[in-house]
Amino acid sequence: MAEIVLKNVYKHFGDFTAVKDLNLEIKDKEFLVLLGPSGCGKTTTLRMISGLELPSDGTINLDNKDVTQLRASKRDIAFVFQLFALYPHLTVYQNIAFPLKTQGVSKANINKEVSRIAKLLQIEHILKQKPKQLAGGDLQRVALGRGLIRNPKALLLDEPIGTLDAKFREQMRAELKLLHIESGSTTVYVTHDQIEAMEMGDRIAVMNQGVLQQIGEPHDVYSNPINLFVAKFIGSPGMNFLDMNPSSSDGSKILTFKGDGTDIKLPDFLSEKLLNNKKLTNITWGIRPEDVSIVSPGSENSLNGSVYVIENMGNHKIIDIKLKDGTLIRVRELPNSKYKIGDNIAISFDMNMVRLFDTESGDSIMVQE
């Protein structure tokens, strides 16, 4: 059992606040991904959970025990960095055995444990080799082995596969996920790669500038971003955005696209969201590429434009549509889509998937009561 709870955690470096009022409950055996751009405070958060860094304020509990001031070595948490940090003069066996050796574990037990870990990580054949003889994927497995050998309550991984090439990364993602299930360790995984986060996380915690923006299951964060930051950060290609004004007499039923003055009639559930937010004058309309359709010009509730760029992705096409004011909207189409560059078309939207944001604050108005 390893539940990790951070309450009102801050980290200041001099005048700079790297982590602000962070509240996070990581469930037992969960695979939680900390996701955000470079410098948003992910590593600092991980280091505070591990005990390598002390919070400036707030508390960290591990299994209902306050460990805020406890040294890293006393926390029963393993930490694996992007840089493998193996001892170059030791063999793979000796590197993996090292944590147990320092704890005075008997040779026979060390042997048993190294065998168990080597089998789990499928590195039995390289136990006699030294790190410099190994490729990136194997080095990473060894680093993981050294972390896992202590049977830690929690495993903290900081961009552990960031330096590997794309194909290896794909393989390692699947392996890490499997390893997580087999080892049963609560895992906190730091990455700035949203695709990695979506693939691996049971839940994703999105951070920006030291502040937790949203935490949820990948599908929920993708479909219901809490603000424009999350909406822009998650998804590849990203969400499309249009600047809109409410323009009906009651300020709700119709939104006008600022780019060319076209009115879009809203379904009742979206109108209601706007009625609850009567003061809103600038609205950002968010829609994912897969929720936009290409239709004939003049279709109801559509915006006119032309085909600008076509990217053939093999199993689908991404078509960039240029609207009259120059706004680009990306549409996901089937691979056999017949549209050509320059075609005059229009786009319509799956209204159930439209997400409205207050342009000024960036907050979603979809999640409010």
Between residues 42 and 273, which has the closer beta carbon with respect to ligand ATP? Answer: 42
Q: Which range touches ligand ATP (CB under 6 A), out of 37-45, 66-74, 323-331, 354-362?
A: 37-45
**Do residues 364 and 227 make contact, with C-beta atoms less than 8 angstroms apart?**
yes
Please state, in angstroms and as integers, the Cα–Cα distance from residue 329 to each residue in 291, 321, 341, 365, following that order: 11, 5, 14, 22
Between residues 161 and 347, which has the closer beta carbon with respect to ligand ATP? Answer: 161
Residue of 42, 146, 153, 253 interacting with ligand ATP (CB under 6 A)? 42
Count of residues in contact with ligand ATP, rule CB under 6 A: 12
Residue of 4, 18, 230, 354 interacting with ligand ATP (CB under 6 A)? 18
Residue of 22, 24, 36, 280 interacting with ligand ATP (CB under 6 A)? 36
Please state, in angstroms and as integers, the Cα–Cα distance from residue 219 to each residue in 191, 226, 246, following that order: 18, 13, 29
Write down the least CB distance from residue 167 to ligand ATP, Å: 23
Between residues 123 and 207, which has the closer beta carbon with respect to ligand ATP? Answer: 207
Residue of 9, 22, 26, 40 interacting with ligand ATP (CB under 6 A)? 40
Q: Where are the beta strands (DSSP E) in the chain?
A: 4-13, 16-26, 31-35, 57-62, 65-66, 77-80, 154-158, 186-191, 203-208, 211-216, 240-246, 254-257, 263-265, 283-287, 292-295, 303-312, 317-323, 328-333, 344-349, 355-358
Between residues 10 and 339, which has the closer beta carbon with respect to ligand ATP? Answer: 10
Q: Which range touches ligand ATP (CB under 6 A), out of 34-42, 196-204, 289-297, 345-353?
A: 34-42
Q: Which of 60, 91, 69, 87 has the alpha carbon at shortest distance from 154?
A: 60
- Tell which positions 155-194 bind ligand ATP, by CB under 6 A: 192
Q: Give the pair of three-digit tokens for residue 161.
A: 């596969």
For helices 92-102 and 136-148, angle between their N-to-C axes, nearest 10 degrees? 20
Q: Which range touches ligand ATP (CB under 6 A), out of 35-43, 65-73, 216-224, 232-240?
A: 35-43
List strands edge to edge, sheet with 16-26: 16-26, 4-13, 57-62, 65-66
Q: Does position 83 bind ligand ATP by CB under 6 A?
A: no
Residue of 9, 44, 117, 364 interacting with ligand ATP (CB under 6 A)? 44
Between residues 40 and 86, which has the closer beta carbon with respect to ligand ATP? Answer: 40
Within 13 A of 344's CA, how many CA atoms are on the CB side?
Answer: 5
Between residues 16 and 298, which has the closer beta carbon with respect to ligand ATP? Answer: 16
Please state, in angstroms and as integers, the Cα–Cα distance from residue 43 to each residue in 68, 78, 162, 174, 226, following that order: 17, 14, 14, 22, 23
Q: Does position 39 bind ligand ATP by CB under 6 A?
A: yes
Q: Which range touches ligand ATP (CB under 6 A), out of 10-18, 20-28, 284-292, 314-322?
A: 10-18
Write down the least CB distance from residue 77 to ligand ATP, Å: 17
Q: Does position 297 bind ligand ATP by CB under 6 A?
A: no
DSSP state at residue 364: B
Summarize as ranges the residues that interact with ligand ATP (CB under 6 A): 13, 16, 18, 36, 38-44, 192
